[in-house]
Each structure stands twice: as C-alpha cells, then as structure tokens.
Chains A and B, each alone.
Chain A
C-alpha cells in the first residue's frame, strides 16, 4: 500500500540521511565544546558560549545565507572544496551541513548539562589512579553522561529533521539531493491542491518529532542525576 507518493518517499529518505549524517558530524564538535564549557575556565568564555548559540538565535534564513557565502561556490571555504572536488553546494552534503549547524546548539547545551552533572570527585579519583585527561573523559565522564547525551541526540535529530529555512536558502530545493521532507512539505502547502500530501508529510514529521521527544524525556526524567558540590 502506498502511503506516500514516490516523491514524498524520496524526500523522507533524504531527510533521514541528511539528519543522521548532520548530527553525527555535529557530535564530536559539540562534545569538545560542551566539555570546554563544563570543565574549563578561560578568558572570553561568555563570548564563546554566545557564538555557539548563534544558530539558535539567528533567523534560519540568515544562517543559510552565511553558509551560502562561506561554503557555496567561490566562498571562503567553498572555493577550496570546489578545487578539491568536494563541493557541497547544491548537494545533500550541503543540506547535512545546514542540519548540523542548526542542531549544534541543542547538542552543546544538552551535553554541557550532562557533563556538569558528572561528579568531579569521581574524575579526581580517576586522576589519582593514573588516568590522563582523555582517559578520564572516555572512561568516566562520557559513560556517566550517556543519558544526557542520548537525550541531546534525540532533540538534535528532531531539529535537524525539521530544518527548513537554512537548508532551502543554502542549497535550494533539488529533488533527491536537497529537497528534504520539510522543503517538500513547504512546496505542497504552497500549491493549491497540495493539502493532502502536506497533511501526510506533517503526520510523518510529527511522528518522528514525537519519538524524539519521548526518548529525550525518558532519558532526562528517569533516574535523575545527582549533583554534588565540587570538592577536590
């Protein structure tokens, strides 16, 4: 039984691909930034935090425009990508970058909270047992932040999945490459007679978002993390 038209199925599959890749690429950067925010003090930290939250605050179209002039053809970074044959302009990889950028702040905030809730005394104990900073992170901090990490990933994925403004501004709409589900949805509601398809896609998007929300809630609400005072 065909619930979705071929074009809609293509858009849905593309959305999954773009969102998964986007969030996966965003994750290591988000982990690094969240760790810095949670564990280090440095000059200019508030400014750094503000910059990280920028995609959350800027209108998505503005973010898309910035991506366009930096990563598009002839862009500051785009020209090197083009020269290396790794152009992302008008490609699904560009859509993935847009999704990654828009989901990034959510990931950083969730991860930072998760790291901060890990008892530093445990990390100190690990240090006395001979663990260097990397080992402490991977063997103590990260495992103990898993809940927060999964919750953050769920939220980030949902955000990436629903990303529209930055994507269509940066890589426009190209079926099979950049026409993700939200863009297909937009096209349908912009066309008289497209309401049926729009409703179908809305339901799909709604289910994905709901699943993500449930996962996040389960992770965050069950077995609350204990915060204790920082002591050596």
Chain B
C-alpha cells in the first residue's frame, strides 16, 4: 500500500498530490518538469514537503501533523537515481554491498548479482563501465538493501537502444522474481507498461488520474496484448 499525500514547494514550482495505491508497482507518469521526480525525492526524504503524509506498507515515513519525519537513512528505501550515483572510488562489489543489511546471506547477494548479470564486473570500478552496466549496478545496489520499496527515477533515461532493452529486461526479471513494492518515475509509456500495475498521471504538479495500467495503455493507444512481448520485438 502506497499512501502519498504531500504539498511541496520548490522555488516557483508547487506540487500537490494525494493518492493511495494498493498496487505493488506504481508508476508516476508525466512530462518532464511535472513534479514526479520531486515526489520521489520527497518519498526518499531528500526533499521536505510543506505538509502531508507518506506511508509505505503501513510504515509512516513522514507525517507533518504527527511531527514524524524519518531520516533518509532510516526510511528503508532503495533509490535508483537517474544519474545512478555509483561511488567512483569503490569497486562494483563494494558499491553493491554498501546498503546491504548485516546478515544478508552470500546466497542472496549472488542471486541479485546473477539476475543482473554482474559477476564479470564485480572487480571493476564505475569509471570502467558502460551506461547500461552502470544502471544495472545501481539497481542491484538498491535491491540489495532489501528495501521496503524500490524507487526508480527514469531508469532507462539516456541509455542507447541496446542498453535500454537490456536494462528493461532485467527490471522485468526482477519484477517476476521479487515481490518488491516499486515506485517508478518515468515519462516513457513502454517503461510503464513493462513494470507498473497502477499509474498516477501527473501534470503541472497536480495528479490528473490514477488508473490501472490497462486503462493507461488503452488511452495511450497501445493494444493490451503488446504488454507481454519484449519492447524490441518486431510484432506490432
């Protein structure tokens, strides 16, 4: 359950939205500048809303009326930033392990590494990775945190075609493997289709619709059947 009720001011831009989503994977969809990234940052605790309430699976992260504002480090979230933000001085392995809770088994670590096809990269430094590889490591790092929610900020942005395909496949794989609450921020319909169960449309700092992904796809003019196929397929 994702409960968002927040009002936020950033310079001249103001954002106000309230929603409660029972979906496991929620997409915040809208054009750039509409406030979706700000929402994500507020959920992560990196931006403070003026007032409101944020709760994920009944864990209250922020409640201005009750005076609750959990520190970022204790919100138990895994954030994949648009610019990945891998630590440049640490190898891939150390990056992955950075947020891992104590007691995570080696098996769990290996599972994620396998899933994201990272074994060959473990000893490399971020400076030696391609764009797609960096994204995968960032996703793995967030996942290994065993977060109560995974926050993805435009996970496929600025990737060239092959990398997009690659990363999207991995994300789909993750969705199948883990029952992970996910909040996805994007302006790309194909990402929404591949990963989300429910879609919150945001425009100009306001929520314009909260709909099931099928409804979303229909209004985007994409046949329902296409969802099952990989993006790069030639079938139409």
Interface residues of A (CB under 8 A from B): 121-122, 124-132, 139-140, 143-144, 232
Contacts and interface: CB of A to CB of B under 8 A. Distances in A.
A126 B98 contact: yes
Given A124-B46, A232-B41, A129 B145 contact: yes
B145 A130 contact: yes
A128 B150 CA distance: 11
B87 A126 contact: yes
B8 to A, nearest CB: 11
A128 B78 contact: yes
The size class of the interface chain B forms with chain A is: 20 to 34
Interface string B59-96: 00000000000011111111101010101110000000
A130 B87 contact: no
Nearest to B40: A232
B79 A125 contact: yes
Contacts, number: 56
B79 A143 contact: no
Nearest to B10: A232
A32 to B, nearest CB: 21
Interface of B: 41, 44-47, 71-79, 81, 83, 85, 87-89, 98-99, 101, 141-142, 145
A144 B89 contact: yes
Given A122-B87, A232-B41, A129 B141 contact: yes
Given A121-B81, A125-B81, A232-B41, A131 B73 contact: yes
A126 B72 CA distance: 10
B43 to A, nearest CB: 10
Q: Is the interface of B mostly helix, strand, loop or mixed?
A: loop
A55 B59 CA distance: 52
A124 B77 CA distance: 13
Contacts of B41: 232
Contacts of B75: 128
A65 to B, nearest CB: 44
Contacts of A140: 87
Contacts of A121: 81, 83, 85
B85 A143 contact: no
B88 A124 contact: no
Nearest to B41: A232
Nearest to A136: B73
Contacts of B101: 130
A128 B46 contact: yes
Given A124-B72, A125-B81, A129-B142, 9 more contacts: A124-B46, A125-B87, A126-B87, A126-B98, A127-B45, A128-B79, A130-B76, A143-B89, A232-B46
